Amino acid sequence: MATHRFRPTRYFNAIGVAEPCLRVADGDTLITDTIDASGLDAREVAVASRPNPMTGPFFIEGAEPGDTLAVRIDRLTPSRATGWTYSPLALTVLDPAAILNRPPQQRVVWDIDREAGTVRLQEKVKGLEDFAPPLQPMIGCFGVAPAGGQALSTATSAQNGGNMDYRLFAPGTTAWFPVAVPGALFYLGDGHASQGDGEIVGTGIETSFEMQVTFRVLKRTITWPRGETAEDIFTVGNARPLDQALQHATTEMSRWLGEDYGLDARAASHLMGQVVRYDVGNVFNPAFTVACRIARRWLPKR
């Protein structure tokens, strides 16, 4: 097992089949840089300057279609002291009548204080003079090349992952992705210094990052992304409307409980019906994201 330090010279705004930038082995660790859209210039972008530029793709030796790529998020370190967001609230989260009263879109800058572990608006906003939420780095967009030769925009998400904007994709989490092409072709980017559920202003606090992840190839098949933390397991559905995303996530969790925990459909329903928690990931972009989460303390012993 080796550790690779990779500095990208080009970025992608779609996740699909492309020439790998680096080949790594099962069990290897990768340290690389990601950049937010404000840091792009014309020489750096492979396709065009749009949101969510991705670093990659990384070819994982031994990953074959039908396998699962497990990606442990080891560390997410902001590489500059500022980030940015937009206001106001997105059209997708407001009553139609309220849309008429939305103020004009405005971009604002946040200071990232790594020592204090907080983020703070640079601009003085009435009522928010003491507002300093915690610095909570997460990955907004990452995943593997989809099946069928597709190249999916980094503005959306699907079975391969993508722009899910789920807050639990943070240090200490292991994300699972279904492998559809040889080598998986893994991309990552869209680092957020902080973000509430749903990405309801259209961004998290967007900034550039140094990210460290570790890869494992699992010889098993999954249908939708999954994840593990020390406290929980979760499954992710990406679709629109929101109820379809919830259906994908719920079905994938029922499968997981059967495969790994020996619960048939009836037993899984008893457990899920009482202890499932649903989290909202992205409700701004073309596909919405819902996570179906269960605390480990409720799971049968394996």
Q: What is the pLDDT of residues 79-122, one digit of tens each?
A: 999 999 999 999 999 999 999 999 999 999 999 999 999 999 99
Tell me the angle at which helices 242-261 and 265-275 cross, rounded to the nearest 10 degrees.
Answer: 120
pLDDT digits (tens, 9 = 90+) for 241-264: 999 999 999 999 999 999 999 999
User: What's the pLDDT at 302?
Assistant: 73
- Classified as helix, coil or strand, 86 is strand
User: What's the pLDDT at 39?
Assistant: 52
CA 105 – CA 90 distance, rounded (Å): 10
One-letter identity of residue 217: V
Total Cβ atoms within 10 A of residue 85: 22
Token reading at 297: 């303390």
Total Cβ atoms within 10 A of residue 210: 16
User: What's the pLDDT at 117?
Assistant: 98
Across-strand partners of 23?
A: 59
Contact 161, 144 (CB under 8 A): yes
Mean pLDDT of each 10-residue bin along the chain, 302 residues long = 96 97 98 83 42 94 98 98 96 95 95 98 96 98 96 97 98 98 98 98 96 98 98 98 98 98 98 98 97 98 80
Residue position matching structure tokens 């340290």: 31
- Classified as helix, coil or strand, 258 is helix
CA 173 – CA 71 distance, rounded (Å): 8
User: What's the pLDDT at 44?
Assistant: 42
CA angle 91, 95, 96 (to 5 degrees): 75
Average pLDDT along the chain: 95
pTM to 2 decimal places: 0.94
User: What's the pLDDT at 50?
Assistant: 55
CA 52 – CA 35 distance, rounded (Å): 8
Q: Based on DSSP, count helices (H) and strands (E) in the chain, helices before strands.
A: 3, 20
Across-strand partners of 268?
A: none
List of domains in the chain: 3-80+136-218 (2.60.120.580), 226-298 (3.10.28.20)
